[in-house]
Structure 1
C-alpha cells in the first residue's frame, strides 16, 4: 500500500509473502484506515516478486471484510526494512533474517505476537493525546524498552504458524491469531 512521506509504516514479514504477512497487512490496513498518518505493507524473506496471495488467504480476508484484491508479493529488502518504522514478522527466524539484512532495525523489529504481548503491558496514559503516528512511534519505544525486561517465553508463544498446505480452516485459525494481536496493537494506536 502506498505510504505518504511522513506516515508511520508497519511492515509485516513472513516467508513467501503469500499467506501470513498479506493477511496481517490487509487486516491491519482496515484498522490503519481509521486514522491519518499510518501505512502498512508486507514482504517475504524468500518471496518471489509479483505473486498473488494464497487463494485461502484471499477467501479468509473476504470473509472478514478486508479486500484481498490488488496484492502482489515482494521480497523483504534492506531498503524496505530500513524505511519501515515497525517490522512485525511471523516468526523469530524471520525476525533474525530481517535484522541481519538491516541491522539498524533491531530495536523496531519484533514478531507480531511478541509485539502484541509486550504492547499489552504498556500504560495507555503514556500514549494519550498524541496523533496516531506519534502514538505508534511512542508505542514502539515503550515495547522496545519492555522487551529488555520481559521474561522469555517458549518460541511457540511468539511464532505464528504457517497455514500453507493446510485446509482453509487453518487459515481462519491464523486469521484469529493475527486479529487478536492487531486488536491489541491498533487498540493502542487508534483507540475507538
Structure 2
C-alpha cells in the first residue's frame, strides 16, 4: 500500500548532484510546506519516494528542500522551536552544506501563530551556541504532516492528536524521547541508505521494527513537560531532554 513506509534505495530513485557528500544536494517528492520556508514540492501521486532534480530552483532561489522533519508542541514557542534549531545545528555540524538538503521545521497544534520564541528558550539555545534568531511561531500544517518523512512531538498527546487527524502519519510519528529510545544502540550502518537523507527517510521503519525487542519504559518517560509559564530551570530541563533525544536520532542518521 502507498501509505506504508518503504525502504529508500540509492538508485535509481535517488541521484546525487555531487559525489562529495559535503556538497551534495538532493530533492524529494514530499517536501513539507512551511510559511517560513516556501518551497515548491515535487509530487508523484501518494507514494513517498526520492527523486533527483539537479539544478532545479525553488521559489526562494535555493535548491529544493529534501527530507522532511517536523517538530511539534502546543504553541510552537518553546519546545518545538528548540528542537528545530538543535536538529538544524546538529545536521550542520555533521554534514556541512549537505545539511541544507534536509528540511527541518516546526509547528504548534494550538498556536497562536506569529509569536516569537520564548525568552528562556532563546537563552537555552544561545547557551548551547545555537542560533535562535528570526523565529516566528506557526500552526501545524496537516498537509505537511502527510508529506513528511518524520514527525516528532513533545508528548504522546501531541502524537495521538496528529495521528487522529492524519492517520497515514502513524508509521512515522513519534515523540522525541520515544524515537530516541527506539534507536539507541543503533549505528548508521544499521539504517539503510548511502546518504544521511536516505537514512532519515528509512529511520521510521527501522525504529518500528525494533519496538518489540526493547524493554518497555514507563509511558510518561516519552513526554517532555511544557516549560511555558515556568522558571528558567524548567526550560533548562526541557532543553536538556530535547537535546539528548535529538542527538540520539542524529547519531544514527
Q: Same fold (TM over 0.5)?
A: yes
Q: 2:182 aligns with which of 109, 115, 118?
A: 118
Q: 2:162 aligns with which of 77, 82, 98?
A: 98
Matches within 5 A, 1:38-187: 38-127=102-191, 130-187=194-251
Partner SS state of residue 21, structure 1:
helix
TM-score if structure 2 supplies the norm length?
0.70
List, as ranges, runs of 4+ consecutive aligned residues in structure 1 with deviation greater than 4 Å: 148-151
Work out whether 1:26 is the aligned partner of 2:79.
Answer: no
Deviations 1:80-122 (A, max 9, x none): 2112210000000000111112111100000000000001143
Higher relative contact order (CA 8 A, sep 6+): 1
TM-score if structure 1 supplies the norm length?
0.90
Q: How many angstroms apart in 2 are the aligned matches of 1:157 and 1:58? A: 25
Q: How many angstroms apart in 1 are the aligned matches of 2:91 and 2:235? A: 22
Q: Shift of residue 148 of structure 1?
A: 5.0
Q: Which has the larger radius of gyration?
A: 2
Partner SS state of residue 203, structure 2:
helix
Provide structure 1 residue ranges, at least 5 long, that are not aligned to the other structure.
none
Taking only aligned residues, the RMSD between alpha carbons, in angstroms, comes to 1.8
Please say if residues 32 and 39 of structure 1, whose CA atoms lie closer than 8 Å, have aligned partners that are also in contact: no
Q: How many angstroms apart in 2 are the aligned matches of 1:17 and 1:116? A: 21
The alignment of Structure 1 onto Structure 2 pairs a total of residues equal to: 189
Residue 14 of structure 1 corresponds to 73
Deviations 1:141-181 (A, max 9, x none): 10122235545422221001111121112111111111111
State which drifts further: 105-114 or 142-151. 142-151
Q: Greater share of helix residues, 1 or 2?
A: 1
